[in-house]
Amino acid sequence: MKDFDYRIVEEAAKQTYIRALCDLPPDVRIALKKAYDRETKPTARAVFEAIFRTIEIADRDKTLICQDTGLPIYKVKIGSMFPWNGARIKKCLYEGAKRATLEFPFRSSSTHPLTRVNPQTSVGVGLPVIYFDFEEDSDSLDILMAPKGSGSENMSKMQMFYPAHGVKALKKFVLDTVIETGANPCPPGIIGVGIGGTADLVMKLAKDAIMRPVGQRHPDPEIARMEEELEEAINATGRGPMGLGGDVSTLAVHIEMAYTHITQNPVAVNTQCWPARRARAVISPDGGVQYGY
């Protein structure tokens, strides 16, 4: 463990933040193109054309897709055979996010919740948000980075249901939440839904859901069917891109679930805006780094 160069992790944390802000994943690009092809409303098509122009400029100039650089979120999966020190990895993610902000540079969105003082580093107490998980029979360190902007994050919602409410009530809550958000989360993006667990876990599940590639269905057939039903219902609302009306109001609905208590059924919604940004770095024990999405 002492032989591993943790500066590699810090650099990967920096690079994934920058890459997530500047390089839209291929699955998102494809989903946007398919949405444009399905769209029949002239105003909505014009919005998509503006979106494509934004992506072209970001690709050409290697610059930001959106001025809201969000709050840094890292999902870290540690292989059982990877030489690791959790405390050092956490520090590296902190320093990497800070360096990305100062060295790229881009706007820091982090601030003290009461004084509203912005340290201009994108980090602080509790930031970056880091979720650790572990994987058997793996010798790699997998870092998935997703910057979360305020327009979509402000639209998050959670409610505790009882089993007696039934599945229809859960679906209605999701649909009502999406309708209430209007244009705020810059649709069409991904609607992440968490079901089950506890009040805190269900919000994490909803956030996990938006980090999946667009349209990747849940392995549970019943959950996958619910994803399809909600996606169809949301697109039928006519909200359209940027809330200006249209045939496509969401690129996908993703659901993550966990077992819960016999007397409760928590549900959470976490929306991702149209630039569903994310970047990945997979680090091997010898220090090799493979970047992707």
CA gap 44, 66 in Å, rounded: 19
Closest to 97 measured CA to CA, from 64, 89, 208, 211: 89
CA gap 97, 254 in Å, rounded: 27
CA gap 71, 88 in Å, rounded: 21
Q: Which amino acid is present at 288?
A: G
Q: Can you give the pTM of this predicted structure?
A: 0.95
- Which residues, in sequence order, are CB contacts of 63 under 8 Å at separation 6+? 22, 57
pLDDT in tens, 176-223: 999 999 999 999 999 999 999 999 999 999 999 999 999 999 999 999
CA gap 141, 46 in Å, rounded: 42
Q: Which amino acid is present at 197?
A: G
Phi, psi of 7 (to 5 degrees): -65, -25
* Residue 253 three-state SS: strand
pLDDT tier at 84, thresholds 50, 70, 90 = confident
pLDDT tier at 131, thresholds 50, 70, 90 = very high
pLDDT in tens, 51-82: 999 999 999 999 999 999 999 999 999 999 99
Closest to 207 measured CA to CA, from 221, 217, 193: 193
Phi, psi of 217 (to 5 degrees): -80, 150
User: In this predicted structure, what is the pLDDT of residue 287?
Assistant: 93
Q: What is the DSSP string of 21-89?
A: HH---HHHHHHHHHHHHH---HHHHHHHHHHHHHHHHHHHHT--S-S---EEEEEEEEETTS---HHHH
Q: How far apart are the first and last CA of the chain?
A: 27
Helix (H) or strand (E) holding 292: strand 289-292
Examine the pLDDT at 137 and tell me if it is beyond 50: yes
Neighbours of 1 (CB within 10 A): 9
**Residue that is written with structure tokens 């881009």 in the block:** 106
pLDDT in tens, 140-163: 999 999 999 999 999 999 999 999
Q: Average pLDDT, stretch 18-45?
A: 98
Q: Which domains does the chain have, with CATH numbers?
A: 7-21+65-149+277-292 (3.30.1330), 151-272 (no CATH)
How deeply is 2 buried, as exposed, middle or buried, from its count of CB atoms within 10 A (0-12, 13-18, 19+)? exposed
Examine the pLDDT at 1 and tell me if it is beyond 70: no
Closest to 94 measured CA to CA, from 72, 70, 112: 72
Q: Where are the alpha helices (DSSP H) in 86-126?
A: 86-103
CA gap 225, 264 in Å, rounded: 22
Neighbours of 288 (CB within 10 A): 10
pLDDT in tens, 228-286: 999 999 999 999 999 999 999 999 999 999 999 999 999 999 999 999 999 999 999 99
Examine the pLDDT at 3 and tell me if it is beyond 90: no
pLDDT averaged over every residue in the chain? 96
